[in-house]
Chain A
Amino acid sequence: MTQKQKQLIALVTGLCIPFLLVSGVSAMHIMEGYLAPQYCVAWGVACIPFLVAGFISIKKLSIEHRKALILLAMVGAYTFVISALKVPSVTGSCSHATGTPLGALLFGPSAMSIIGLIVLLFQALLLAHGGITTLGANTFSMAIAGPFIAFGVYKLSLLLKAPKHFAVFLACFLGDLGTYCITSVQLAMAYPSEVGGFSASLAKFMGIFATTQVPLAIIEGLLSVVIVMALEAHAKTELTEIGFTGGLAK
């Protein structure tokens, strides 16, 4: 990243912070119309710096590692498929995996903010899954928080000398679960319970989202390992190109 791009991200972040303070920020995706306007705006603004960083990171990829773009397309398609598949879970309701952690491991977390945004926009516009007004909040949980958690867990696992495939599993498992914990936090902030306030609401939303998500997060982790194995067998060139070759890559 060049100096200028770093400055741009810093500038955008700086511009966004006052916005968040003023607006008083005190899914499955969160449904359309279920988040009050000030939260919609606040979460949307919170996403902007990450999206700028993501745009720059994808642009850089398309210039420096053109060959690896095919993997980015693949990861995007994977996110598309996986977030359309609602799977039954132990709580008796259905949810879906996110698909974004895998891409974060390959291309870095900020690149996935753009990919995730595209998927969420499609779902909001055409499927009434999630929503335009809740796009910011959903982007933050699925396309930013999830990928960043996954990326952090992956690097940490490798530092602790965990086997690579196990690191991939753990990162994608926690990235997926993290997405829904963030969703719960977002909803609990918007709907603090009359008795018990934020924490009581959080416990309830966690009960719905996080519990439902546990088996799905395991599936997400397993599928990610399968895809990494397939890529290692057939896309070694591209993986080397983006520095995903095992051990402690950059």
Chain B
Amino acid sequence: MSKTNKNRTVIIVLLLLCVVIAVIPLITLGQSAAFGGADDAAGDLITSIDDNYTPWFSAPFEKLFAGGEIPGEIESLLFCLQAALGSGLFFFILGRLTMRTKMRKALVENGIDIEKAESVK
């Protein structure tokens, strides 16, 4: 197996492992757990330590909405947007980089000295 192929296998295995780790809790605890945020759980704990505690500040953005909380659907929209923007940029750059490797290889195969070509530019 060539080095590139071996790397590819390793990457696929690692990514699958990530998915498995994320899915196991869903399968094993699916019935019994609410899967709320760990930060909400901490909020509850704070209230249990100091039962008079009320958060003293809330995000200005949240005040726009009824009840002072961003509606669930809007919140997931914003989280999606964040993930989409991030992965868009990430994979755009990765795409350019992988293409660059390909082009360089093609140039070298055609006998063009890349270092020389780049220094001319």
Contacts and interface: CB of A to CB of B under 8 A. Distances in A.
A232 to B, nearest CB: 8
Task: Give the one of A90, A93, A129, A194 with max B CB within 10 A.
Answer: A93
B18 A127 contact: no
B2 to A, nearest CB: 12
B107 to A, nearest CB: 14
Contacts of A77: 85-90, 93
B42 A127 contact: no
Nearest to A33: B55
B45 A230 contact: no
B106 interface: no
A123 B70 CA distance: 13
B38 to A, nearest CB: 4
A191 B55 CA distance: 13
A191 B46 contact: yes
Contacts of A127: 70, 75, 78-79, 82
B79 A187 contact: no
A194 B35 CA distance: 29
Interface in B69-112: 69-70, 75, 78-80, 82-83, 85-90, 93-94, 97-98, 100-101
Given A222-B18, A230-B94, A131 B25 contact: no
Contact of B78 (A27, A88, A126): A126
Interface string A9-42: 0000000000000000001111111101100000
A151 interface: no
A234 B87 contact: no
Nearest to A180: B38
A123 B39 CA distance: 14
Interface string B15-46: 10110011011101100111111111111011
B4 interface: yes
B93 A70 contact: yes
A81 B87 contact: yes
B61 to A, nearest CB: 6
6 contacts: A30-B39, A77-B93, A92-B34, A126-B78, A187-B42, A191-B50
